[in-house]
Amino acid sequence: MAAVFPSSPQLFAPSRPAGDEQPILSADMHPPIDLEEDLDRFRAEIRAYLKPDDAAQVESAYHFSAEAHRGQYRTSGEPYVSHPLAVAGTLAGWRLDAQALTAALLHDVMEDTAITKVQLAEHFGKTAAELVDGVSKLDRIEHQSYEEAQAENFRKMLLAMARDVRVILIKLADRLHNMRTLDAVPPAKRRRVARETLEIYGPIANRLGLNGLYRELQELSFRHLHPMRYRVLVKAVRQARGNRREVVGKIMEAIKSRLPGAGIEAEVFGREKHLYGIYRKMREKHLTFSQVLDIYGIRVIVQDAPTCYLALGALHGLYKPVPGKFKDYIAIPKANGYQSLHTTLIGPYGTPVEAQIRTEEMNHVAESGVASHWLYKNEHGLSDLQQETHKWLQSLLELQSASHDSAEFLEHVKVDLFPGEVYVFTPRGKILALPRGATPVDFAYAVHSDIGNRCVACRVNFESMPLRTELRNGDRVEIITALAASPNPAWLAFVVTGKARAQIRHFLKTQQHGESVALGENLLGQALRAYGVASQDVDAGTWDRFLRESGPRSREQVLTDIGLGVRLPAIVARRLAELRDRHEPVVGTAAETRPNAILIRGTEGVAVQLAKCCRPIPGDPIIGMIRKGQGLVVHTLDCASLVKQRGERNDWVDVDWEPEVRGNFEIGLRVVADNQRGVLAKIAAAMADEESNIVNISMDDDRGVTTSLYFTLQVANRDHLARIMRRVRRIPEVVRINRTKD
C-alpha cells in the first residue's frame, strides 16, 4: 500500500503544540537528525510478523506522520516524528496489530496539526481514527484549571480504553518514550510529569500486567522526582553488588545442580530488585539501605504448573524458607493475571533471597500482561486474564456513570489502581480480590451494586461482624440485605474501593437533590415572607432576570444550592424582592412579618441533619444553621458549640419540631454507679424495660469505689428520656445520672 497524501498543503498546517511534548516549529533551531537507521529497524520488526499489506499500511502511516510533523522538533532537538516512531516501536515489540501501530504513528497529528478525525478515517480506516481520537487530548476550556483539564482528559482516555484496550497501550508507550527523554524539559514540568506517571500511568501498567513497563516507569519517575535520592541509591547498590554477588552466585549454582537431581528441567536467572522498590521499602518500613537485605532474587522457569510445586519442594529442601514469606499466585492469581510461586530462602551467611518459580507462559504474561494477547498466542491459557481485564474495563464505565465530575471519577480510578492484596471468598467459594483495608461493604459492592445498596449486616467466617470490619486473606464473607435498606453516609468513612465510594456518593447525591430542593423551597419561602412576598408571587419573569444576573442554570439549581447551604436564602430573597418590581416599594419588613419556623420531623435524611455535638431530640428547644455542603444542621439552643459557630445572622433559621414526630433518636447518658458486681446488668435491664435500645456502652478506665458508665441510647422524645432516667435513678447503686451532649 503506497503512502497517500492529500494535495492541499493546508492539511498539514501545524495547529498547536502538544500538552506534554510542545514541539518547536522552527527548523533552524536544531540540526536535522537521520532517522533511517531507526526506521529500517522498525520496518524489519513489523515485517517479521505482519502480513505484507498490513506492513505497507503501517509504513504509509509513518510517511503521513512525517509529512504532518514536518518542521516540528521536540524540545530535545530531535525531529518530532522520532517520537511517534519510538512509540510504534514499543508496540511492535508487543506484536500489536497494524491498526494499533498505525494509530501510534499518528497519535499526535490531531493535537499538533490541522488534520481531523474524519480525514484520518478516510486514509487509514475508522478503527485507527478512533484509536487516535481516544489518545488525543481535549481542547482545554478557558475557565478550566490545569487540574480540571487533566482530569477530563484522563476520563476521556480511560473511557476510550474501556471500549478498546489498545488506546491505553498506545498511551503507555507514548508516556514511556516521554519519560525516557524527560531531561530536555524544565525541572518543574519534569517533576509534574514524573508524579503523574507514578500516580496514574505506572499503576495502570501494573493493573494490565505490563510489569516490565511498570518497573521502568517507576524507575524513571523516581529518577526525575527525587534525583538526589536516586543517585545515592544507585551508588549504594553498585557498592553492595560486589559484596553480595558472590553469595547470590553460590545460591544460583546450588539451585542449578539441585533441580536436575530432582528430575526438574529448569532455567535459573538472577535478578536485582529495582531501585524504586528498594526506596519504597526503606520508606514504608523505616529501614536504612544496609537493612534491606533482599536486593537480589532468583527466577526459576519450568515446563508446567505441577513442576512449579516440585521445584518449590526442591528449593525448600536446599535452603530453609522464611516463615510467612510464601505466596501462591498460581492457585490464586493476581487481578492482573500474574501467576508465580514466591518464597524467601535463607542462603549462605544468613542472606535472604527471594525466589520466583513460574512456567514460560506465566513469565510471558508476567512481563507483557494484557499485551500478551498479541505476543503469546495460547488463547486458552489467557482466557481468565482477558475476562478479568474486561471486568475491570467495564467497572470504569460503572464508575463513570456514578461519578458527577471528572475529578471525582479520577479519584475513584486512582483508588482502584493500587493492587489487590486481600483475597476473600463468597459463600459459593468464588474468590474476590480486594485492596488492602477492604471491608464487607466493599465486598458487597464488588459483588453487585444492588447488593451494596441494600446491605444491612454481614457474617465473616460464619460470625456476625460490624460492616466496618477489615477483611483478611481467606475470609468467607456473607452479606445480609433488606429490600428497604439504603447506603449509610457513614460508610464513606471506611470503604476503600472506588466502586463502593462512587455508588454510595451517587445514591446520596440523588437522594440529597430531591431533599435539597424541598428544603431550599421552604427556606426561600421563609426568607421571602420577611420581605412581605409570598413564594407564588415571584413570577417567571423575575426568576429569569435573577438567573441571568446570578448565573445558575435553573430555578431548581438555586433551590438546591439553598438547601445545601451554598447560597444564603436571605440574599436570594432580597434580590428576588428587588427584581419583582423595581418601581413599587417592597411591602413589609422583617420586623413587621416574622417568618414561620420550618418544621422538623428528624428523619429528613441528608439535607437536614441533627447535629452530632448536641444530639437534639423531639421536645428540645432547637435552632437551625445553614452550612455549606451540609444543608440545614439542627442544634439545641443550649449547644456549647453554637458559641464557636456564631457567624452571619443569615446563617440562622427558625425551626421547630412537628407536633407528631415518630422515630428513634440517639442521645448520650452518663451514669455514675457503685462499682459492684451486676450493676451494669441492672441498669441495662431498666433501660430495656422502658423500651429503649442501647447502641453503645463504654466506661472509665480508672475505676474506684464508683465508676462512670457512658450509654448511647435510642429514644422517641424528651418524655421517653425522662422516664428512662427516673427508672435508672431508682436503682440503689446509681449515684448520679445526666444527659451528655458530646
Q: Could you list the active site residues?
A: 111-112
Number of C-beta neighbours around residue 30 at 10 A: 15
Of residues 127, 2, 5, the one with CA closest to residue 66:
5
**Cα(695)–Cα(714) distance, integer angstroms:** 7
**Cα(103)–Cα(107) distance, integer angstroms:** 5
**Cα(369)–Cα(374) distance, integer angstroms:** 10
Q: Which three cell numbers, joined as nine digits, stand for 358?
A: 513460574
N-term to C-term CA, the chain: 78
**Cα(669)–Cα(712) distance, integer angstroms:** 6
**Cα(261)–Cα(638) distance, integer angstroms:** 83
- Residue 289 is classified by DSSP as G
Contacts of 382 (CB under 8 A, 6+ apart): 337, 365, 372, 373, 376
Whether 403 contacts 502, CB under 8 Å:
yes
**Integer CA distances (angstroms), 21 to 87, 131, 142, in order:** 13, 19, 21
**Cα(475)–Cα(457) distance, integer angstroms:** 16
Per DSSP, helices labelled H in 537-672 are 540-550, 555-563, 569-580, 641-645
Contacts of 600 (CB under 8 A, 6+ apart): 608, 622, 624, 634, 655, 656, 657, 658, 661
Whether 723 contacts 706, CB under 8 Å:
no
Strand 463-465 relative to strand 631-636, pairing? unpaired
Of residues 607, 608, 551, 599, the one with CA closest to residue 575:
551
